[in-house]
Structure 1
Amino acid sequence: MITTAFLNQYLENICRLARAQRASLFLTGFAENLLQHSADEPALAELADEAHAASTLAELTADLCENGSLMKPAASGCGLLVVVSIGADHGVATQVVTERRNFVPSRLGETETHLMIGLGYARPEDVPAFGDNGLVEPLSQADWILSIIVSSGGPLSMNWELSRILKHPVTGLAGRVELERVLPLIVHSAQESGQPVSLMFVNPDHFEQVNHRFGRPQGDLAVRELASLLRASLRESDLLFHYSGAIFAIVLPATDEEGARSAANKVRSAVADRLFIDGVLPLTVSIGVSGTENGSVSDTTELIRRTDSALNMAKLAGGARTVLWQENSPPHLPGPIDRGSAIFTADAIKDYRNMSLLWELMSGLATQREISVIARELTSRIAKAFRLELVALYSALHQEPDSLTEEPLLLSACRYMPEHDTILNEPVVRAEKPVAMVRQVRETGEQIVHREENRITEGVLPMVARDDLIGFIYLENGPEATLDNKDMDFLAALVAQVAMSLDRAELLNRWMKQQQEESKKLREEVRELRQAVKQIRLVYQSAAMETLMQRVQKIALSDATVLITGESGTGKEMLGHAIHDLSDRRQRPFVTVDCGAISPGLVEAELFGRVKGAFTGADTATDGYIQQAHGGTLFLDEIGELPIEVQTRLLRFVQEKTVTPVGSSSSVKVDVRIIAATNRDLLEEVKFGGFRSDLYYRLQVVTLESPPLRDRSEDILPLANFFVEKFSLSYQKPELHLAPETRDFLQTYHWPGNVRELQNTMLRAVLMSDGPEIRIADLDIESRAARPAAAQEEVKLPGVLAASMERRDLWRELTLALEAVLDECAQQTLPMGRWLTEALLITANEISDGVTRRGATVLGMAESTFRRQVAKSLRSRELEHGKRPEGWEAVESVSAEIVREQAKVRLPAQQNLVVRTRDILLAVVDELVGSQYARGAALMDVTTPTYKSWLERLESAGGR
C-alpha cells in the first residue's frame, strides 16, 4: 500500500537519477487525484497546487506523442515536465474498482490515467538538453529519465488505486487488511535488528451514544477529526490504521512498551484537550498497548489479541485510561469492543465463509420464534461451515441458577459427514464429556478451549443475553477441521448474536402464551357479554330507551333494590333480565315470581319455603323462590298483587336478608338482589292501604319507568323488523319484509298492548303472509281491535281453533294455545314437552288404526321409533290421566288437527312433526324462562344439557 514515506522515497529516487533538486508528482484518472512533493515546496510553479497541476496537464496531453509520453521544459527554464499516459485498463486493479460503492461504470474507458512528474533544478544549465524542436527526440540523458518514469508509472498508478480502495472511506486510513499484511513484515524486520515493536489500539469511549445523539454523519465527522488528531500526535515512522468501527490501530516501530505507554498518554491528553464536531463534543479514549519486547511475541496474531484484550480491560475498568498488557493478564477478554474483529481477517476464504455463515444465520433467524428451529439451524450450519465432528447446543433457559447438578437440556446436535458433505442430526450425543464441560462453563461463566499440540480439539462457548446465561454450544473438532483462535473469536461473536435470537424467541413465546391466556380470558368475557346481550333481547334506538339503558348499566354494577314501573307489555321483565345479565350475578340464578299468579294461601310458602309437615300436604321440605335465587336475582313481577300479610314478611327479608321457612323457627341467610315490577301506581295503593308504605320505600331505592311503545315511536320499526326476521326463520318462511304502507301504518298505530302486542301482531303477519311483503291486511289489527274483549279471548277455545283448517293457521293457533297454558300455569313446572309429543303420537296412532307404518309416515318418523314412543306414551297417559290443566285441551285439539291435515296429504311428512311442534314449544318456553335453563328443561321434560343443546340448534337454525 502506498504511504507518504513510499512516495517520498520514490520522488527522492527520481531526483537522484535525474540529478534534480526537487520533484513533484501528479497522478490523475481516479476518483481521487494524487499530488505529492519531495520537499516542503513544489518543484515547479506548474504543480503548485492541484488546480495548477490539472490545468498544466490538460494543456500537455493535447501534444502527447504516439507512444503516449511527453517531456517539456518548465516555463521557468529551471525545470522539466514529464507526462505519461498510462491508460485506464489495469487488470486486477480495474476488477477491484468495479466493486466499490461509489464506482460509476461509465468511467471505464472514458477517463485515461496520466502521471505528470515535475523536476526542479538549481540552474537552467542543469536541465537535460533537448533537440531543436524542444519536444521530440530527447537526448540521451532525458531519454533514460523518460524511460524510468514510463516504466514506473503503471505500477505506481495501480498501487495508488489499490491503496485508495483499501482506505477507510471515512478516515482515509488504511484498514485492517493492510495492518495484518504490514505488521508481520515490520515485526520480522524488527526482530532481525533486535528492536522491539509496539501495537496500540485507540477507541473513543461511549462513541455509540455520539451516533445516537448527533446522528451518523456527525459521528463520521468526529471519527475523521479524531483520525487527523492522531496523525498529528504521532512520529513520521509510526503507522496509523483504521482497525474497525471507531477503533484505530497504531504500529510503533523501534518502541518498547514503556515508550508506547508514554505515546498513548500523549494521545489521550491531546484528545482530552480537543472539542470535536465543530467544538461541541468532548471525547475521552481508552487505549490498549502490547509489544514484542524481549522476544515475548513472535506471532502477530497473538500481538493483536493481546492488544485487543488490553483495550477491553481499559474499557471494562471505566475507560479514559491506558492499559498495558501484562503476562498475568487474561489471554483474551471477549467483549463488545470490536464486533467485526473476528469476522474479517487477512484470509479472503475465511472472510467469505464467515460472512456467508453470518448472513445465512441472521437472515434465517431474524423472524424465527421457534427455539427448536433456531437451535437446529445454528448447529447444522456451524458443523457444515467448519466441518466439525460434533456441534451441540444446550439450553439453560428453564433451569434454576443454583441447580449446578441439573442435567443440561440438549436442544440440538449435529455432526459433519465429510464423505457425503452433509449434516447428520444426532438424537443421542456422546454426552459424558460435553456435559461435564458445560457444567464447568455454567459454574464459571467463561469459555473452555482444549488443545492438543497447538490444535484446538474441543470447546464450550457460553451464550449470554441481557446479562443472563441462557445456553452453551459445544464444539468438537473433526479430522478435516482446522479451528484456530480467530475461528473461536468469530464463533464467540456469532454465538452472542444467536443468543439474542434465542432470548428474543423465548420472550416472544412467553409473551404469546400470556397473550393467549389473556385472549382466552377476553373471549370468555366477550362470550358472557354476548350471552348477556343475547338474553337481554332489547331492541331500541329511541332516546328514551337509550337514557333508560344507560341507567340500567349504571345500577347493574351495584346490588341496590330496583323498582320497575310501566304499563303491561312494555318489557319490565326484560329490563330485569338486563340488570341481572349486566351484573356480577349473571352466572347465578334469575328467578321470576309472578306474585299475582300464586294462590294467596300458598304465596308465603312459595316465597319463603317450607319444612316437612308445615301444613297438610307438606310431605317434603321445599326451598322457596327466595332461596332458589341465592347468589342471583329475585324478580318479583306484579308485586302490587302481594297480600298485606306477605308484604310484612317480605319487608323483613328486604331489611335483614334472612328468610324463615313456613313451619320453621330458624332463619336462613340469603344473598339475593331484589328487582320488583308493577303496572300499578304503588303510591296510590299506599294511600288507600293496599300496599305497605315502608315496603314501598324499601323497594324504590332506584326506580325505572319502562316507557309505553307509543311514547317511543322510533323503536316501532326496529322492533317490527326484528320480530319479522325472527319468526320468518322460526317457521321456515321465505325472507319477508314490511311493505312501505305497512311501515307507515305501524308507526301511526297507538299500540295499547305495547311491545307484546307488536310481537304477536308480527307473528300473525308472518304466518298469514303469502308473498315476500307483509301487507296491512296481514296484520289483522283493525278487525281484532273492533272485536269485544270477550271475543278476543275465544281464540283459546277449541271451537274457534276448528274454524280454520289451513296449515298456517294451525301453527299459529298452536303457538297461541301453548302461550295460554304457560300463562295459566306460570308458577307450575309442567312436563309440557312430553305431553305435546304424546298428543301427536297418540293421534297419529289412532287415525292410522294402529298401523305403525302409516302412523310413522304421517309424523315423518322411523317405524321402530314410532312404535316404541307410542307404547311409552300410552303407558304414561294411563298413569297421569286427569292431571293436566284445562287449557291443555286447546293444545291437544290443535295438535290433533295438525296430524289430521298431514294425513290427508297421503305423502310422507317433509319434516318430523314431533320435532317441529317441539321447536314451537321450545321457542315459547325460551321466551318465558330466559336464562332459567333448569326451569326450561323441566317444562320440556328433558335434562338441562339437552335443553341447552336444543336451544343452540334452534338458534343456529335462526329460530331463536
Structure 2
Amino acid sequence: MNATIPQDGGTLHPSSPNTQKPFYDFHPLRFFLQAALTLTGAEAGSLWLRDPIRNPIHTSILQEGDPPFLPQFDNPQLLERWIAELGPKNEPRDHGVFKPNSNNAGMDLNESGLILKLLPEILRIQTSYLSQPRQRRHSDHKSAIASPEFWLGLRFANDLQCFKAFEALNSRSSSSNLWPSLPIAAQMAFENHKLATLMRDPVCQLPGRVEFHACLSSCLQKESARQGQLGLILINPDEFGVINQRYGQEQGDSTLRAIAAKILSGLRQSDLVFRYGGAIFAVILEASDAQRTQKVGEKLLNLLSGPYLEGKIQLSFSIGIHSFDGRTDNGETDINDFLQKADHALNVAKLSGGGRVVLWQPGEFDSIQSYDRLSGIFTADSERDYRNMLLLWDTISTISANEDMQGIASEFIERVAAVFQFSRAALFTHDDQEAPAVIAGVYGKDSHGKPNSAHSFPLSGKQKELLKITRQRKKIERIKWGKKNQSHVAYAFPLTARDVFLGWVYLEGVDDVLQLDSSDLVFLDALAKQVAIAIDRARLAADWKSEKQRESQQLKQEVEALRQALPQARLVYRSPQLQSVLETIKTVAPTDVTVLITGESGTGKEVMARTLHEHSLRQDNPFITVDCGAIAPTLLEAELFGHVKGAYTGADSASEGRIMQANGGTLFLDEIGELPLDVQAKLLRFVQEKEITPVGGGKTRNVDVRIVAATNRNLFQEVAKGRFRQDLYYRLQVVTVTVPPLRERPDDILPLARFFVEKFALQYGKAKLRLAPDTESLLLAHSWPGNVRELHNTLLRAVVMAQSEIIAPTDLQLVDDSKHTSPPAIPEKEVFIPSSIAAAETRQPAFDNLSKQNTHLSPAHEDPWEALRRALSDQLTAVLSSEHGAPVPLGRWLVEDLVIEADKQHRHIARRACKALGMAETTFRRHLEKVNRETSLGLVTRTTHWRKIQPCLESLVRTASLSDTPKIAENARRMLLHIIAEQVADNTQLGAKLMGVSVPTYRKSIKTLNAAHEI
C-alpha cells in the first residue's frame, strides 16, 4: 500500500507500487484494507475516503496489490470527477455494492471487480472533527452533520472469485454475510485514523516533535540493548524563508508537502520520517551504521535539490547526520546529546553555504552553536519543558523591567539558583586589568527558604582557573571535586555580546541534587546569552547617559561663558519717552516688587519684562511667560498651578505648573486682563502668600518668584465693570510702567526700521539691502496702529519680497491710515437675519427691518450685514449663471473665512476670536486647524468673484468685536442659507452643494428655518 503526501488542496494522489510509502507507518486504514482483501479473497484493492464537507473536497487514496484496483491518477480533478459519477454510471447490485463500468470517466477497469460504498449513515462524524462553528439550534446541528463517502474497490483474479465474494456480501445467512462486518470495521478504522491524524503535523501529515522524541528514545534504547546501530538525519531547505516572504504561507506549506513526499519516496518502508519543527525534517534509520546513513543522506540531497512550485524557485538543502553504534558506545547514550550532535552537524552544513551533507565527528564541532534554538527548551519532557518556559518567561520579564545591570543580574541569578537548586551562583563582569568583579551572587538559603544575597563571592584557585578557561575557550566549562557520594560540580557560562567578552555566569551545587543533563546546559547557555545581551544594552545605556550628562554640563558652562562675554539683549531706541521707561525699570529691577506693564498691543511689553529680569538679581534663574489669553479658561488653572495625576480626565501624569517652573526666577503674566474671575481669586492668594496648591492636590507648596504682569486693557475700568478683582488689581500695580505707543515716540521709528532691515537682510542673505529715503519718509508718516509688531512684520515682508538692493515705498504695502480715522459703526443690539421663502411679498420688508435696526449708522458707513447680504446675493447669482464647472461650497467658504479673519484680527488669541464669532472654542479651533492644514497642502481655493466678500467679513468681525451681537458665524451662515433657498427653490441637491453640506443636513437646516418662521 502506498500513498502520496497532499500537494493540491490536501488531496492524496494514488501512486504506483514501490514508489512511495505511507505517510504514517501505523496508518489504521492500511490494516482495514489488508483485512478486507483477506476477508473477501481479492488480490488487489483501493480504499478512498471522500469528505464532501471540506472545502476543497478532501480525498484520501490507499492502494494494495500489484496492479492496484484503480490506475494512476495524474490529474486530481479526474479522480474527483470519477468518484462523483461512480454511483450514477455503475449498476447497483445490493446494499452499497456496484459492478464497475468500463465507461467510467475514461477509466479502464477490470470486469472482475466490485465497488463497495460503505453506508455514510454508519460513519457519522462529529462537527468538532470537521472544524465547523458550534451550532446553536437543533436544526442547525442536524444540517451540519455529514458523513464522508467511504469506498472500497476490489479486484479479483477471475469472475468466479468475484461472484463468490458478491454472494458472500449479499447472503441472507448471518454466518456467511460479510456486509455487516465491513462497515463496522471501516468505522473503527476511520475513528482510529482520526486519532492518529490529530497527532500528525497538519501541513505534511507527518508525526511531530513529541512523537519524534519518544520514537528516538525508544529506538536508542532498543539498539543499545542489542548493541545495534541507528542513524539520524536532519534535513533543512536553504533559504526557505524566501518562499513565505515572496509567495505567501500557502505556497510555503505546499512546498513543505512536496519536500515530505520526496523524502518518503526515497526511503524504506521501515524508515521513520518526522517533521521536527519549522522547515526541518528528521529521519530515523534503524539498523544503519554511519556509512549507510551518510549514503542515504546524499541520496536524499540529490533527490530533494531542484525546482519547486512549478519551477518558480530552486531549492538546495543542508543535511546533518549522526549515528549510534551500540557496540562502541557501551550501551550508554543521552537522547538530548545525540540529537544535539546531529543538530550541530546540520548547522555546519548551513554555515558552510548549504547544499551539502555533514556527518558529525568527535571534536570538530565544539565551537558550533545549535541550529535549532529550541532544542534545549523543548525536550518532550512536559514537566521539564514547563519549568524551562517559566524560567524563560521570568528572564524576559526581568530584562524588560530593569534598565540597570545590577537589577538584571540580581534577579536572574536568584531565579536560576532557586529553580535548579544551586548552592552558590554568581554573575561576574570581566575587566582586562582587574580580577572578575561580582555584580550579583547568592549562596545557601535563609530561614524562609529564599537565597541569601552575597556582596562578596570568594573563589578557590580551581574555580578561578575555571573562569579563565571559559574566557579563553568561550564555551561552557565545568569542574568536579569532593567525595564520590557527595561530589560538587561547578559550571561557568561565558557572557558575550557583539563579539565582546563581558563576564561569566557561575553556578555551583551538589551533583546528585542538580542532576543536570545536556539539554539543561543548552537551556542555561541560551538564557546566559540573552542576559549577556541585556547587560550589554544596560551598560551602553549607562555610558550614553553619563556622556549626555557630561555634554549637558559642558554646554551649561559654555552658555554661561557666552552670557558673560556677550552684551545684554539690544534695545533699539532714541526717544526720551522710552529712555524714561528704561530708567524706571532699572530702578525697580534689583528689588522683588511686583511690576505691572501697560500699553497697547505690539509696543514691546514682553521685551520690557525680559529687560527687567536681566537687570535683576534673578537673571540666572528661569524667566517663564504665561499668555493668559491664549490658554483655554478650563485649562488655565492647571497650567498655572499644576495638577496631580488623575486630577481630571486626561491627567495621566502630574505637572508642576508654570508658577513652580519659575521658582527662583521671574513669572511674566501676559494679558492678565484675560484671566477669568475664579482664577483671579486663586492668583490673588498666590500673590499674597507665595503659596500654590496643585489642582486635585491637598498640600500647599511655597514658591519664590517675582511677578511681572502686562495688559493692554485699562484695568481700572475693568474693575469698575466688575470684570477684574479690585484686590488683585491693587496687588499688581505696586509699580506701573506704561510703554508709549510707537506713534508717540517717532524718534524710535527709523532706528528700529534700520535695525530690522539689517537683521532680516543677514538672515535671508540680502546683506546690501537698505531703505530708500522716500521709504523712510513713508515710515515716519505712518501712524503704526500695530506699534513695533506692525513695523517688524512690515519690514520682514519687505525684505523677503525685495527684488533689488533698495526697499522702495511700494515694497512696504502699508494700509492707508485713512481707514483708521474713524471707528466702524456698532450695532446697538443683536442683528437678526430675516428670511422668507414661503411668501415673496414678505421678503423685502424683512430686510427693511434690518435697516430700521441700524438707523443710528452714519451715512458714510454701510451696515455690514446689509453689505454682506448684497455681496452674497451677487456671489450666488454669479455662481448660478456660470457655465464652468460644478457649484462651489459657498457655505463652507463663508465659515472658514470668518474663522481666518477673526483669528487674524484678534492676533491669534483663540479665546477672543471665538467670542467675537459667537462660536464654541473647540469648534473654532477645529475649523482653524482644518483650513490651516488644507492651506499648507494647497487645497484651499476661492473664485475671483469671492474676493468681494472679504471686505464684508473684515467689517463684520471688527464690528462684532465692539458690539454685543452674538453668533456672528451662525447668523452669517443662516443669511446665506436664506439666499440660497430663495434662489434655488426646491433643488435640494444644488442647495446642499452650495452650502457645502450633505443633502440630509441641508434639509434639516431648511426645516429648522421653517419651524422658526424664518422661511
Q: What TM-score results when the alignment is normalised by the length of structure 2?
A: 0.47
